[in-house]
Amino acid sequence: PSEYWKIVVLWVFLDANGKSTRWPDFEAFIAEYRLGFGLSLSSGIAQRFSEAIVAVFRNRLDEIEEPIMNEVLASQPTSEKAEWIRHRRELSVVTGKKEDRLYAIKIYTDDPAITAVGHERLIRAIEVWKGVVSDYNLRTAIARKRQIGPIVIWLGFHFFSILGKIIVPDAKRKR
């Protein structure tokens, strides 16, 4: 399996008018055994890998969060928290998705962003992310690029979670 090709390029020989000079005999198939840069396909492949890593993260954090949510239901059955959990679990039955998470993770190729309700949950999320990164032997961004707090910049957007606002800088907007 480690020798499976990562991408195959079909090289078509065209004349000056854009017509194939060798149709239907394609003589150039190029097999790549590593993900190269410069191919529009590369970011899509990387994104699918990233989404798989995020799925592992969600599964692990959900395993930790589930007993915490169940404890709220058992110890505070009439609380607003318990009502929210019950409502979100009913919604999960309708949508077929896990709707009672108190965290979110998004990733764009190799740039993840995690949000969580409360600092204890955020710490759990960071610990789970650290475990996933370690288990899959991934390299993370250098320390200077890492951010935590109510204001972060992700993909060029300025997120002010405490205000519920996102600012799009002029340079980003004009692209």
pLDDT at 14 over 80: no
Task: Give pTM, 2 decimals.
Answer: 0.74
Q: Which of 20-34, 54-68, 94-108, 130-144 has the lowest mean pLDDT?
A: 20-34
Q: DSSP characters for 108-126?
A: ETTEEEEEESSHHHHHHHH
Q: How confident is the model at residue 99 (pLDDT cuts 50, 70, 90)?
A: very high
- pLDDT of 24-80, one tens digit each? 665 676 676 666 655 555 667 778 889 999 999 999 999 999 999 999 999 999 999
pLDDT at 91 over 80: yes
With 0-12 / 13-18 / 19 or more C-beta atoms within 10 angstroms meaning exposed / middle / buried, residue 27 is exposed
pLDDT confidence of residue 79:
97
Which position has the higher pLDDT, 156 or 86?
86
Q: Which residue, chain included where needed, has tokens 């999320």?
A: 125
Question: Picking from 54-58, 86-90, 128-132, 145-149, which range would have the lowest pLDDT averaged per residue?
Answer: 145-149
- Which residue has better confidence, 157 or 22? 157
Cis peptide bond upstream of 67, omega within 30: no
Residue 93 — pLDDT band, cuts 50, 70, 90?
very high
